[in-house]
Chains A and B, each alone.
Chain A
Amino acid sequence: MSEARAPGLLRTTWVLVRKDLLLEWRTRARANALVFFALSTLLLFSFALGPDTTFLRRAAGGTLWLALLLASVLALGESFRVEQENSALDGLRLAPADPRALFLAKALSNTVLLTLVGLVILPVLSALASVTPVLGFGRLLVVLALGCLAISAPGTVYAAIASHARSRDVLLPLLLFPLLIPAVVAAAKATSLVLEGDPMLQFSSWLGLLAGFNLVYWSLGFALFPRVVED
């Protein structure tokens, strides 16, 4: 019954991020399925929009973020399915792991996964719509990371709520999509500006909206997640 020195919030978060990424690596088939789903969505949107490359170029930002948004539903739902198996989440709660660390770790792991999916499908989008990042690849990476962070924070909270429901696969997008409209619009607009140029200097405004969305929803997730997993 010795008293061990329990790790703090950041250390616990790191331990759990490592666990989540290790699980993703062990079950690579899931990540592969996610990439192929996102690629299929990208191709379907491109075919639906037609062969006009000017139109495809203008729609490239929106197409990218719709593909990532739809893929995120699979990723988020799956991230809590592994926690349901053998009641592993209860095991973490009883360890005890700080529920705020559980939120940070799960949301960060989902962000990493979605960003990687985004990086894989970007070259395909580039080829389909004949686009290159006019404002530089660095800014495109910043938008991609901020957009994936914006999906992951509320997505992790809602995936945890939906994981208790029988119709979880339907419930998650119903809860999540309306909430993400501002983030997806901002990410799509910012991406389009990076790809097509920014003559009106709007890029920083859309990036600011995305950063603000992140600030609000990461704070809310951090504060509310303990109630979600405990009550």
Chain B
Amino acid sequence: MSNALEFQDVSKRFGRTWAVARLSFALPVGQSLLLTGHNGSGKTTLLRLLATVVRPTQGKVLLFGEDAALEREALRPRIAFLGHSTFLYEDLTARENCALLARLLGRPVREADGLLETLGLASRAEQPVRTFSAGMKKRLAIVRLLLKRPALALLDEPFGELDPEGILEMETHIRALSHAGTTVVLATHQVEHGQSLCTTRLHLSAGRAAST
């Protein structure tokens, strides 16, 4: 089975701080990885390296066998990232935000409409995102993630800001992604939720792999 992602002795430094230090691991296609660790342990940086938003200071990140630093334009259509930032325009409506992504992906806008319906946002679709609660913004970010139909889904604290019902829905969506063959990397402090969804676990401490 080929690897969806592979870290080859990867380090990432911000100023004088090493956020990720000499990390090596691989995850086969279709598997799901739970990332755990304390605040500042390097989980978000690791996800941003995988999302091709930042480049490693040392080492190499391979995604589907390609060097992420060199082939990021070709890889990005296959990656979806649900991070701390929602990537939403506050002064556009929910529908306009999703339609923008659909048009950039070359997909029909009705796909976005269907996902807004599925995530229970259809009734608020024509309202500006600025009027949404944090939980609704998170749901809208999930719509964007699902719209990409990614081969690699990167989820940074996906259960944050969600109510219990929203957490159950999120778990359902993550399971559906895994069943569809998407490789999932999930970083969360809510380990009990994450463990039921992932096949592998990587615990980070000070940017290093503490256990797998």
Contact = CB atoms under 8 A, between A and B. Distances in A.
Interface stretch (B2-10, B96-104, B158-166, B197-205): B96-104
B83 to A, nearest CB: 7
Contacts of A166: none
Given A1-B180, A91-B87, A97 B92 contact: no
Contacts of A12: 104
The interface size bin for chain B is 35 or more
A19 B104 CA distance: 11
A86 B104 contact: no
Contacts of B106: 4-7
22 contacts: A1-B151, A4-B105, A4-B107, A6-B105, A7-B106, A19-B96, A22-B96, A23-B89, A26-B92, A26-B128, A27-B91, A85-B90, A86-B86, A86-B87, A87-B85, A88-B87, A92-B104, A94-B76, A94-B80, A94-B87, A95-B76, A96-B104
B182 A1 contact: yes
Contacts of B91: 23, 26-27, 82
Given A6-B77, A96-B76, A87 B104 contact: no
B34 to A, nearest CB: 22
Contact of A86 (B73, B77, B80, B85): B85
A96 to B, nearest CB: 4
Contact of B149 (A2, A27, A87): A2
Interface residues of A, number: 27
A84 B82 CA distance: 17
Interface of B: 51-53, 72-73, 76-81, 83, 85-92, 96, 100-101, 103-107, 128, 144, 149-151, 180-182
Contact of A19 (B89, B105, B180): B89
B104 A90 contact: no
Given A1-B180, A94-B53, A7 B104 contact: yes
A15 B104 contact: yes
Given A6-B77, A15-B103, A23-B91, A1 B86 contact: no
Contacts of B96: 19, 22
Closest 10 CB pairs of A and B: A91-B87, A87-B85, A96-B76, A95-B104, A4-B106, A26-B91, A5-B106, A15-B103, A6-B106, A4-B107
Contacts of A95: 76, 101, 104-105
A19 B53 contact: no
Contacts, number: 83
Nearest to B151: A1
Contacts of A6: 77, 104-106
Contacts of A26: 91-92, 128
B87 A82 contact: no
B33 to A, nearest CB: 18
Contacts of B92: 19, 22-23, 26
Nearest to B101: A95
B53 A93 contact: yes
Contacts of B88: 86, 88, 91
Nearest to B91: A26
Contacts of B103: 7, 15
A94 B53 CA distance: 8
Contacts of A2: 149
Contacts of A5: 106
A19 B96 CA distance: 9
A26 B126 CA distance: 13
B77 to A, nearest CB: 6
A55 to B, nearest CB: 44
B130 to A, nearest CB: 10
Contacts of B180: 1
Given A15-B100, A23-B89, 12 more contacts: A1-B151, A12-B104, A15-B103, A22-B96, A27-B91, A86-B85, A86-B87, A86-B88, A87-B85, A93-B76, A94-B79, A94-B80
